[in-house]
């Protein structure tokens, strides 16, 4: 007879712990003596992580046993707050390790991740399934109306109780064992998906050895490709990859259609080559397990489970919202495709527009209609000036300052650290900026951190926040010159950073907000990045220091809705694909590509546009991105950010009253109240969709 899973876990963990007794000199286990308690990256080695993880789990298990076995009657302090304070060491180690797994990984780190993931998953399930602990939590929750708790304490109590219920605390012993097995397998599958994607992304290299094949490419793009080739040992040649800072300029400007096709197909077929890095079986298993988990917990689909904690609440609300945007977006995209085809025909090229042609002809049409292209803008968006602009904006809005610190250890020489202070000089936290691509760094851009703000039991910890990107590298004597998309991306991630830095919530759990609200603080920053008044303050020519000319700003504004059919449609397609995967109530058929084709065919996606993410490289939903049944959140939050920014435009760009309200109710409040309640406190009403449609030219 098979033993219950948790029984096996209880036998296995002590053996693991005995095998990896924590060494006394492990820097992850001792006090961090760097300024502000920053991680000692100059001392941390790969072999320190596993024993630190296991020691962290041991300490938390000991703390949980003390809480669950407390002979005193359960109270908010001895149960809810004590639980929130447990696991400090494990959280510290996990934050650092996960950050390194994304930004500075290695084969050794990936192996540790796969080994630790199921053990850590089992550890958290053991806590969620602890009947004595849950009984104490429920006892406090049941008398919540009689307790003298402030708003934040009430929210922590509610979130803690719901986390246990949604984590399986009310399941039978047999179903708890099933859920634990599912959670462990999912933890490994997500890592495998991302590991395959990283290796697949790094594997493809387009090597050009004939200068004639560079026709159409701007000088800066050619220089960067030559530098990439040199670093890979191909001196005298040019290298392009499927990392976007390399790929997008090639797609925009290369006259070699066959090479554009080769590069783009390498990008859109990642994880789909029926080899050891193929992600189709992995994602199908993830979907299947998510369905099983949701149904064990009493939900029909994973989307029902995930959206319960969102602003949208129901799948129908998400589909309805996306549908309202899809209709005008696809109509606009078809018109854009027709205009590109007209140019192709006018040139006498004799071919039908394909997906690998879109960037090239979009750039040509934009140049023809608005006399504007990315290469005209790049000289005014030198990376350091853009970063300084983001800092300047935060100073103008909130009075905070940023001072570079050279005395903080970093995990890579390219990382720069800034101390963030109030206008009074009071320390707020640290911001780590890591902006350049590396082959051991995941693609895209993100905000993370090594430590959340916390004020529990008189112990104050300030946030340690990271902003990571994959922006174009300096090449030769030319600094990093960003395209317009990279500019808005930097401001976007900086907005996430401000959300973490400026919180005034004491409990990390209460700082968390709904997925479809979390993008508001990031996306609103993009509005300032593109505002003419503010752009004049930070966009300066990297050689002359001259501010961006009014004429260029005018062209940017006039072209702001250009290609929005494409940009909105490719995003919405990915959002709908995500929802289609996660509204399944039965295991998917064994052909992931067929499912994807049917999903995108149902909504009428035209063949000239590929979904922003195909399933096999959709890490937001199948990796560790946390956006399963939630990728729609970006455009849901765009309704919020467009409406919120309008509050500033109705007064002034840096209006202090509006900025103070925004900081209080959006940045500082975390999830202390329902997110719509917080938004209405800031804006005085619910958000309107009109500003978004106007901004995207879809009204």
Task: Please tell me which residue in 81, 194, 493, 526 is annotated as part of the active site.
Answer: 493
Residues 503, 649 share a domain: yes
Do the domain assignments include residue 200? no
Do the domain assignments include residue 242? yes
Sites in the chain below the pLDDT cut of 50: 1-19
Element (H, E) at 421: strand 416-421
Dihedral pair phi/psi, residue 66, rounded to 5°: -65, -40
What local confidence, expressed as pLDDT, does residue 24 receive? 65
Residues 259, 120 share a domain: no
- Whether residue 315 contacts residue 307, with contact meaning beta carbons closer than 8 Å, is answered with yes
> What tens digit of pLDDT does each residue of 636-695 get?
999 999 999 999 999 999 999 999 999 999 999 999 999 999 999 999 999 999 999 899
Question: Whole-angstrom Cα distance, residue 50 to residue 39?
Answer: 16
Residues 236, 121 share a domain: no
Q: Which residue, among 466, 461, 504, has the nearest Cα to 36 in the 3D structure?
A: 461
Residues 553, 421 share a domain: yes
**Is residue 427 helix, strand or coil?**
strand
Write down which residue in 251, 268, 285 finishes a domain: 268
Q: Is 673 a catalytic site residue?
A: no
Tokens of 185: 């397998």
Question: Whole-angstrom Cα distance, residue 103 to residue 432?
Answer: 12
Count of domains forming the chain? 3
What local confidence, expressed as pLDDT, does residue 19 receive? 43
Do the domain assignments include residue 254? yes
Do the domain assignments include residue 276? no
Question: Whole-angstrom Cα distance, residue 58 to residue 49?
Answer: 14
212-215: Cβ within 8 A, 24+ apart: 213/256, 213/259, 214/238, 214/254, 215/254, 215/255, 215/256
Do the domain assignments include residue 547? yes
553-561: Cβ within 8 A, 24+ apart: 555/370, 555/371, 555/372, 556/372, 556/377, 556/484, 556/530, 557/532, 558/370, 559/366, 559/369, 559/370, 559/372, 560/530, 560/695, 560/697, 561/695, 561/696, 561/697
Do the domain assignments include residue 11? yes
Question: Whole-angstrom Cα distance, residue 629 to residue 106?
Answer: 30
- CA 620, distance to chain mean position in Å, is 7
Residues 262, 157 share a domain: no
The DSSP bridge pattern shows strands 401-405 and 416-421 to be antiparallel
Q: Quote the radius of gyration of the chain (alpha carbons, Å).
A: 26
What local confidence, expressed as pLDDT, does residue 624 receive? 82
The greatest distance separating any two alpha carbons of the chain, rounded to the nearest whole angstrom, comes to: 85
What local confidence, expressed as pLDDT, does residue 699 receive? 81
> What tens digit of pLDDT does each residue of 469-486 get?
999 999 888 999 999 999
> What tens digit of pLDDT does each residue of 243-259 get?
999 999 999 999 999 99
Residues 120, 18 share a domain: yes
Locate tokens 């905000």: which residue?
447
What local confidence, expressed as pLDDT, does residue 23 receive? 63
Domain hosting 108: range is 5-170
* Predicted TM-score of the model (pTM): 0.91
Residues 224, 106 share a domain: no
- Whether residue 450 contacts residue 434, with contact meaning beta carbons closer than 8 Å, is answered with no
Q: Provide the total of helices (H) and of strands (E) in the chain, helices listed first.
A: 30, 9
Dihedral pair phi/psi, residue 448, rounded to 5°: -140, -150
Residues 226, 148 share a domain: no
Residues 388, 507 share a domain: yes
Residues 156, 27 share a domain: yes
Residues 263, 165 share a domain: no
Question: Whole-angstrom Cα distance, residue 337 to residue 191?
Answer: 38
Residues 214, 77 share a domain: no
What local confidence, expressed as pLDDT, does residue 625 receive? 78
Write down which residue in 268, 288, 321 finishes a domain: 268
Do the domain assignments include residue 401? yes
Tokens of 343: 């140019």
- Find the CATH number of the domain harbouring 451: 1.10.1370.40
Write down which residue in 113, 147, 170 finishes a domain: 170
């Amino acid at each position: 007879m098979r033993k219950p899973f948790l029984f096996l876990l209880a036998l296995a963990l002590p053996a693991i712990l005995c095998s990896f007794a924590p060494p006394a000199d492990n820097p992850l286990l001792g006090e961090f003596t760097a300024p502000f308690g920053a991680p000692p990256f100059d001392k941390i080695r790969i072999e320190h992580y596993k024993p630190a993880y296991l020691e962290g789990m041991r300490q938390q298990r000991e703390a949980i046993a003390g809480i669950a076995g407390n002979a005193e009657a359960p109270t908010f302090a001895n149960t809810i707050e004590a639980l929130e304070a447990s696991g400090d060491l494990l959280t510290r180690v996990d934050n650092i390790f996960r950050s390194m797994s994304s930004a500075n990984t290695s084969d050794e780190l990936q192996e540790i991740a796969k080994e630790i993931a199921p053990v850590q998953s089992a550890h958290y399930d053991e806590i969620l399934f602890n009947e004595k602990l849950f009984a104490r939590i429920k006892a406090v929750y049941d008398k919540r109306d009689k307790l003298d708790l402030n708003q934040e304490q009430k929210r922590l109590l509610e979130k803690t109780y719901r986390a246990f219920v949604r984590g399986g605390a009310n399941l039978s012993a047999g179903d708890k064992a099933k859920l634990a097995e599912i959670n462990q397998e999912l933890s490994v599958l997500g890592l495998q998906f991302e590991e395959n994607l990283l290796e697949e992304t790094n594997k493809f290299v387009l090597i050009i050895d004939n200068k004639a094949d560079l026709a159409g490419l701007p000088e800066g793009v050619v220089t960067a490709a030559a530098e990439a080739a040199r670093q890979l040992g191909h001196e005298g040649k040019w290298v392009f990859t499927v990392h976007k800072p390399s790929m997008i300029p090639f797609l925009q400007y290369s006259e070699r259609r066959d090479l554009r096709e080769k590069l783009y197909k390498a990008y859109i077929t990642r994880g789909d080559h029926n080899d050891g890095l193929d992600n189709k079986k992995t994602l199908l298993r993830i979907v299947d397990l998510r369905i099983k988990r949701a149904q064990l917990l009493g939900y029909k689909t994973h989307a029902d489970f995930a959206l319960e904690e969102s602003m949208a609440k129901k799948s129908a609300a998400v589909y309805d919202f996306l549908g309202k945007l899809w209709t005008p977006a696809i109509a606009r995209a078809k018109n854009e495709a027709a205009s590109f085809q007209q140019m192709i025909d006018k040139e006498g090229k004799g071919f039908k527009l394909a997906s690998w042609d879109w960037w090239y002809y979009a750039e040509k049409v934009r140049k023809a209609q608005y006399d504007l292209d990315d290469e005209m803008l790049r000289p005014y968006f030198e990376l350091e000036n853009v970063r300084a602009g983001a800092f300047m904006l935060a100073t103008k809005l909130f009075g905070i300052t940023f001072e570079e610190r050279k005395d903080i250890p970093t995990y890579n020489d390219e990382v720069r650290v800034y101390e963030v202070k109030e206008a009074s000089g009071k320390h707020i936290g640290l911001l780590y900026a890591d902006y350049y691509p590396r082959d051991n760094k995941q693609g895209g851009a993100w905000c993370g951190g090594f430590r959340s703000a916390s004020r529990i039991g008189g112990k104050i910890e300030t946030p340690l926040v990271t902003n990571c990107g994959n922006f174009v590298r300096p090449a030769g004597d030319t600094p990093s010159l960003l395209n317009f998309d990279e500019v808005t991306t930097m401001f976007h991630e900086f907005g996430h950073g401000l959300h973490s830095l400026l919180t005034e919530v004491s409990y990390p759990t209460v700082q968390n907000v709904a997925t479809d609200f979390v993008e508001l603080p990031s996306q609103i920053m993009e509005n300032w990045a593109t505002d003419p008044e503010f752009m004049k303050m930070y966009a300066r020519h990297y050689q002359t220091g001259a501010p961006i000319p009014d004429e260029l700003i005018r062209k940017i504004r006039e072209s702001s809705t250009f290609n929005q059919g494409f940009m909105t449609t490719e995003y919405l397609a990915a959002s709908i694909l995500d929802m289609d995967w996660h509204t399944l109530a039965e295991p998917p058929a064994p052909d992931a590509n067929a499912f994807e084709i049917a999903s995108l065919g149902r909504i009428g996606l035209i063949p000239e546009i590929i979904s922003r993410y195909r399933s096999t490289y959709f890490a937001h939903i199948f990796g560790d991105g946390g956006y399963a049944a939630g990728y729609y959140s970006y455009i849901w939050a765009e309704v919020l950010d467009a409406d919120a920014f309008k509050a500033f435009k109705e007064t002034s760009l840096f209006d202090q009253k509006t900025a103070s309200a925004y900081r209080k109710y959006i940045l500082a409040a975390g999830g202390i109240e329902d997110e719509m309640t917080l938004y209405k406190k800031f804006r005085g009403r619910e958000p309107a969709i009109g500003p978004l449609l106007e901004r995207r030219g879809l009204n």
